[in-house]
Structure 1
Amino acid sequence: MKRLVPSNLLLIAAFLLGVRTFAQTPPRQPTPNDTLNSPKVLTNNRVAIQIYAPKASEVIVAGDFLGGGKPLNLAKDANGVWSVTVGPLKPDYYTYTLMVDGVRTMDPKNPVIKQGISSLENVMALPGSETVFEDNRPVPHGELRQVWYQSNTLGMARRMHVYTPPGYDKGNTKYPVFYLLHGGGDDDSGWPTVGRAGFILDNLLAAGQAKPMIVVMPNGSMPLPPSSGMPNPAVMTQMRTLFANELLKEVMPYVEKNYRTQANRENRAIAGLSMGGFQTLDLTLTRPDLFNYVGVFSSGFFGATIDEAETKYASVLNDPGFNKNKKLFWIEIGKDDFVMDANKKTMALLDKHQIKYQYKETAGGHTWINWRQYLNEYVPLLFR
């Protein structure tokens, strides 16, 4: 008769075999990666970016700290550590990306990231007096919520971020609403993360420089149609229409149903950067009844859209009552921004039709370094 081995004996045997195998495994050899620190803030506002890649043949870094300049090559030492020192830099929050032998690579020593719709970037902080407006300071904080909803327009679940001011959950006050739009390649996480929107709002409110408000940050990146290839004018028009429907039919009704809002034009604002600025212009000149406060950051009617704009928005551009119903139409851009030409053509169109706006030109280019500053300047002007 075959004898059966009790199951507990089998477990003991397996455990002893595992212990023996583990004991025979040689100990892991330490590497320079164990103690590597990246990014490393040095004296005089310089920063060292480093990565351990002993088998790599080339490592380069690109980032907005370069101000539009060419990527930098990292140098390899005898231990396989690649490094480059940048700066001195103005204190701020910067994004950067490593390329290791042509492969986009995250800095494995830096867990702080900015997420896009198809890419990631690392974020590094260089603190100083210039960053006080965007830092996490010891002030009352609002709440940033990730809100999922079912979009009938797109036939899928969608996410937005919603900021509620300090004390929102303890009261019954109704608040004005500010719709804040991101740029192309990003999603609704852009403004809450690298955009520092929650901290900027917290600090302005604590200083008494802004009215308490709800800030809605929707996902403005629409799913591309199948086999659409690179975006062309027809696809861009379709994306623009999809976003308008998404905001007007899905996002705004959801917010006004689920949050305590003052749901009228006098208590609604909108602003966006780059693609979000284009979306802001489209909504403002299509539905002028919705928003009394409008902000356009680093944007304009791009390419062929400037040619169709005068026809598409003719009824609003020629409406003598448009200016009366806008308490603020704010346009801001950096002098080195690559969309400056589209911005100037857009302002020329507004000038032609006597649409009033305020314009500010700053240093810098098409970067979050500027857009955080623009948000900090725009918010105090709202709902006054």
Structure 2
Amino acid sequence: MRSRLSLAAALASLLAAAPAHASGIVERGLTAPSRALGHPIHYNLYLPAKSPPPGARWPVLYLLHGGGPGEADWLDAGGLAFTMDKAVASGALPPTVVVMPFAGDSWYVNNRDPGGAGAMETALTRDLVDAIDAKLPTADCRQGRAVAGLSTGGYGALLFAFDHPSLYGAAISLSGSISPPIGPQMKARLRRAERLYDGAFGRPFRFARFNAMNLFPRVPLLGVGLKPKPAVYLDAGDQDPSGIVQGTTELHLALLRRGVDSTLRIVGGRHEWALWKRELVPALAWLAPRLDATCGQPVAAAKTGDAD
């Protein structure tokens, strides 16, 4: 625990002392085609200030919003560009692309019900990833790709990483909406679920569908066969609501029992942007050594011009 805290403290110190730096490029209102949805995916983009060297690629972080409007939350309320600029300038994080898709109140799951959000998980993990890799010099491998999110987006980030471990090498959940499966006898939870999940798991709420998309039953399947295990970072505030701390802690323990590289951080804070802006800093410190835009390939040695 001491090494994790010292790493976060070191990054915070670097960010505070970072000199003037070039600003990354923010592009808003972009779209990518989606076969899964039948309409474009809307997203915002953060690009590093400098292009990668010839032949090199950028790592990429897919950053998911919480419930509500969402699309520009990380840029406007979260100050994402400022945090990324300083992290890159300090050398604490390699120049990294950040993709911020808009998923509404979909809870990031596939929901083909009439009036539902559609196949959102498929759209964001297949169509958007393909579009970004075609558009930008991003690392086309799990080692160079990560997914993160807050609240409902924290759940979505873990769902994506658990369901698609060949796509994402690491996942970050900040105050993620993490809870165990619901049984038919859990009347109080069923009543809350009807209000909480925005119809993402059926309207009226269907606990069987919720359980089928739950994170906990997925943990024993991580690493089965030749599938890799994603590294996981779990963060929550001690005043987060609705059992978030309990669910996050229980998931961390389940991941450790499964042999997953899982880090847990419980800090003081409420379910609000003051917490998430602050906690993104240590999350990026954790992520940095787990990003490899070379996709594990050796870097070609520079030619010296000397004759053998």
Q: Distance in 1 between matches of 2:277 and 2:88?
A: 16
2:161 is aligned to 284
Between the two proteins, what is the percent identity of the paired residues?
21
Among 121, 126, 131, the alignment partner of 1:254 is 131
2:89 is aligned to 206
**Structure 1 pair 187–334 and aligned structure 2 pair: CA distance change class (3 A):** same
Alignment TM-score, normalising by the size of structure 1: 0.55
CA contact (8 A) 1:179 1:216 kept: yes
CA contact (8 A) 2:25 2:47 kept: yes
Among 7, 16, 22, the alignment partner of 1:140 is 22
TM-fit CA distance, 1:209: 1.3
1:371 is aligned to 276
Amino acid at match of 2:135: N
CA contact (8 A) 2:48 2:96 kept: yes
TM-fit CA distance, 1:311: 7.7
TM-fit CA distance, 1:352: 4.7
Match status 1:302 vs 2:302? no
CA contact (8 A) 1:300 1:346 kept: no
1:10 is aligned to none
Q: Distance in 1 between matches of 2:211 and 2:134?
A: 38
1:179 is aligned to 62
Among 43, 50, 74, the alignment partner of 1:160 is 43
CA contact (8 A) 2:154 2:176 kept: yes
Q: Distance in 2 between matches of 1:223 and 1:333?
A: 22
2:221 is aligned to 316
Amino acid at match of 2:83: I
TM-fit CA distance, 1:171: 6.4
Number of equivalent positions: 242
Partner of 1:247, secondary structure, is helix
CA contact (8 A) 1:271 1:295 kept: yes
1:38 is aligned to none
Amino acid at match of 1:220: A
**Structure 1 pair 321–250 and aligned structure 2 pair: CA distance change class (3 A):** closer
1:245 is aligned to 122
Among 239, 255, 258, the alignment partner of 1:353 is 258
2:239 is aligned to 336
1:149 is aligned to 32
TM-fit CA distance, 1:286: 1.2
Q: Distance in 2 between matches of 1:197 and 1:342?
A: 26
TM-fit CA distance, 1:272: 0.8
Once superposed, what is the RMSD of the aligned Cα atoms? 3.4
TM-fit CA distance, 1:349: 3.5
Q: Distance in 1 between matches of 2:21 and 2:159?
A: 37
TM-fit CA distance, 1:278: 0.7
- The structure with the largest alpha-carbon Rg is 1
**Structure 1 pair 169–307 and aligned structure 2 pair: CA distance change class (3 A):** closer
Q: Distance in 2 between matches of 1:299 and 1:221?
A: 16
**Structure 1 pair 161–171 and aligned structure 2 pair: CA distance change class (3 A):** farther
TM-fit CA distance, 1:380: 2.9
CA contact (8 A) 1:154 1:246 kept: yes
Partner of 1:188, secondary structure, is coil
**Structure 1 pair 321–172 and aligned structure 2 pair: CA distance change class (3 A):** closer
Amino acid at match of 2:64: L
Amino acid at match of 1:296: S
CA contact (8 A) 2:219 2:255 kept: no
Alignment TM-score, normalising by the size of structure 2: 0.68
CA contact (8 A) 1:286 1:316 kept: no
CA contact (8 A) 2:15 2:90 kept: no
- What are the Cα deviations for residues 117-173 of structure 1, in whole angstroms up to 9, with x where unaligned? xxxxxxxxxxxxx9x959xx8420010112123333222233211111012299664
Amino acid at match of 1:362: V
Structure 2, unmatched stretches of 5+, are 1-11, 183-206, 290-308
Amino acid at match of 1:365: R
**Structure 1 pair 212–286 and aligned structure 2 pair: CA distance change class (3 A):** same
Partner of 1:313, secondary structure, is helix
Structure 1, unmatched stretches of 5+, are 1-129, 225-232
**Structure 1 pair 317–167 and aligned structure 2 pair: CA distance change class (3 A):** closer
Amino acid at match of 1:144: V
TM-fit CA distance, 1:317: 3.7
Q: Distance in 2 between matches of 1:380 and 1:191?
A: 18
Match status 1:362 vs 2:244? no
Match status 1:266 vs 2:143? yes
TM-fit CA distance, 1:299: 1.3
- What are the Cα deviations for residues 304-328 of structure 1, in whole angstroms up to 9, with x where unaligned? 3785537852662463876x644x3
- What are the Cα deviations for residues 60-97 of structure 1, in whole angstroms up to 9, with x where unaligned? xxxxxxxxxxxxxxxxxxxxxxxxxxxxxxxxxxxxxx
